[in-house]
Chains A and B, each alone.
Chain A
């Protein structure tokens, strides 16, 4: 029973098993990386404020985001998805998270950036609680590996 097909089959099975092991090890090696990213976000201006017909508040503002995310990249990183979220509490909701801006960083070379933008997604509350509301700005990142486990974390981005 030691035929050509038998040997080819055994080789293929063994090769794929080892490949899976290598991918698992590559994914595990990401744990050795302890990133130290830094970010700063400034709200430069409140452009306008409106009450929608259904009673919800909406705000538009201009943001200045600067971040250095180079330490997030390892050899097993395909991309880093980064977004800025506004988090606040209202009497009705214990947590509101609204994404204001996001971006995809394809490589380490692009991971130190500076951007001047108005909010990309509409900042709408469920209700009318936004006037003179305090909210936290947090920068979240989501590391997408070439293979294996995905990592996510966040940091306070208020200056």
Chain B
């Protein structure tokens, strides 16, 4: 799961659970059946876990692009701060 996918999964989970809770409570209250509320909510929890827990392909649409090793050599890592300072100074 990539970074975007993690964010999506987390948001989906909270949104779906809250939505099911609201629907379940409203239905239960207006039908007057506590059991109905629990059933709807249980269904919602199962559905949400099916959607957000497994690593579905649509959570992996934004793969991280790492630099090639060859590319890496062209951009040398910054050295110690002292040397970088000296570079800046030399540029001036």
A: residues with CB less than 8 A from B are: 2, 4, 7-8, 10-11, 14-15, 18-19, 21-22, 25-26, 29, 74-76, 146
Q: Are A4 and B53 in contact (CB under 8 A)?
A: yes
Q: Are A75 and B33 in contact (CB under 8 A)?
A: yes
List, in ascending order, chain B residues with CB within 8 A of A146's CB.
34
List, in ascending order, chain B residues with CB within 8 A of A7's CB.
9, 13, 52-53
Q: Are A14 and B14 in contact (CB under 8 A)?
A: yes
Which residue of A11, A18, A25, A26 is within 8 Å of B49 (Cβ)? Answer: A11
Q: Are B45 and A15 in contact (CB under 8 A)?
A: yes
Given known pairs A7-B9, A10-B13, A18-B18, the reply for A26 and B37 (CB within 8 Å) is yes
Of the listed residues A7, A10, A25, A29, the one surrounded by the most CB atoms of chain B closer than 10 A to its CB is A7
Of the listed residues B1, B9, B29, the one surrounded by the most CB atoms of chain A closer than 10 A to its CB is B29
Contact with A along B21-46 (1 / 0, CB 8 A): 10011001101111001000100010
Q: Are B17 and A15 in contact (CB under 8 A)?
A: yes
List, in ascending order, chain A residues with CB within 8 A of B10's CB.
10
**What is the size category of the interface that chain B forms with chain A?**
20 to 34
Give 27 A-B contacts (CB < 8 Å), ordered by A residue.
Answer: A4-B55, A7-B9, A7-B13, A7-B53, A11-B13, A11-B45, A11-B48, A11-B52, A14-B13, A15-B17, A15-B45, A15-B48, A18-B17, A18-B21, A18-B41, A19-B21, A19-B41, A22-B21, A22-B25, A22-B37, A25-B25, A26-B25, A26-B34, A29-B29, A75-B31, A75-B32, A76-B34
The answer for the CA separation of A72 and B28 in the assembled complex, in Å, is 18
Q: Main SS of the interface on chain A?
A: helix
A26: min CB distance to chain B, Å: 7
B76 at the interface (CB under 8 A from A): no
List, in ascending order, chain A residues with CB within 8 A of B54's CB.
4
B6 at the interface (CB under 8 A from A): yes
Q: Are A14 and B17 in contact (CB under 8 A)?
A: yes
The answer for the CA separation of A2 and B37 in the assembled complex, in Å, is 31
The answer for the CA separation of A19 and B25 in the assembled complex, in Å, is 10
Which residue of A2, A14, A22, A76 is within 8 Å of B1 (Cβ)? Answer: A2
List, in ascending order, chain B residues with CB within 8 A of A25's CB.
25
The answer for the CA separation of A25 and B45 in the assembled complex, in Å, is 19
List, in ascending order, chain B residues with CB within 8 A of A11's CB.
13, 17, 45, 48-49, 52-53
